[in-house]
Amino acid sequence: DAGVTQSPTHLIKTRGQHVTLRCSPISGHKSVSWYQQVLGQGPQFIFQYYEKEERGRGNFPDRFSARQFPNYSSELNVNALLLGDSALYLCASSRQGEAKNIQYFGAGTRLSVL
Amino acid sequence: AQSVTQLGSHVSVSEGALVLLRCNYSSSVPPYLFWYVQYPNQGLQLLLKYTTGATLVKGINGFEAEFKKSETSFHLTKPSAHMSDAAEYFCAAPGDAGNMLTFGGGTRLMVKP
């Protein structure tokens, strides 16, 4: 079975632009979470979606938004990009949306903001 | 809210030596704890998961971790390091909402020949 897939793998944007990152979960998984990993740090939670509803939101500004589609894939949108948004963005999927469920991570999208 | 602290951002061991990566959690006893590994240019891969009742947890690639409530610790060990173990290791605990994870800052393991 395919794992969590993310696209694109790399992206270069300039300040003020908008970006959309995409994630396809493992087949049968209904929960998708997004994390931001700045170089040299651990991942920081951004959003969780389960059955197309937002279940949790981390401490990120409103420039960050996400949604989950009927096929459980997900998009992360970031508006008005800042230099500080440069990071590896990780998507994780799990069967359900509970703490006991193991999250499986994709390889990430590396975003560079110039 | 749960927080996770990993002592030592970099650990260097010789091939064949014991690996010990430290993780401490705060707040209430978590129902679950996780160790993930991240190889260069890859996502995170689950090494092992602690669930209530089993204090010694065995994971993949010969790693294991012991949950010690009295020390609020969940340290990761491996008896004999291999070159292929060189990677970044993250300890994680459940956060406040849904299945969000709170990660430690990570420990980069370097293995010398």
Residue A98 has pLDDT above 80, yes or no: no
A98 vs B63 pLDDT, higher one: B63
Q: What is the pLDDT of residue A37?
A: 95
Give the model's pLDDT for residue A94: 93
CA distance, residue B75 to nearest chain A CA (Å): 17
Per-residue pLDDT band at B100 (split at 50, 70, 90): confident
For A3-55, the pLDDT digits (tens) are 999 999 999 999 999 999 999 999 999 999 999 999 989 999 999 999 999 99
Paired tokens of A93: 């999927």
Note the pLDDT tens digit of each residue in A43-86.
999 999 999 999 999 999 999 999 999 999 999 999 999 999 99
Phi-psi sector, A40: left (phi>0), alpha (psi -120 to 50), beta? left
Q: Which residue of B has its CA nearest to A96?
A: B99
Partner B contacted by A103 (CB < 8 A): yes
Residues of B with CB under 8 A from a CB of A: 4, 6, 9, 31-32, 34, 36, 41-46, 49, 51, 90, 92, 94-106
User: Is the CA virtual torsion A56, A58, A59, A65 positive or negative?
Assistant: negative
For tokens 């002592």, the residue is: B7
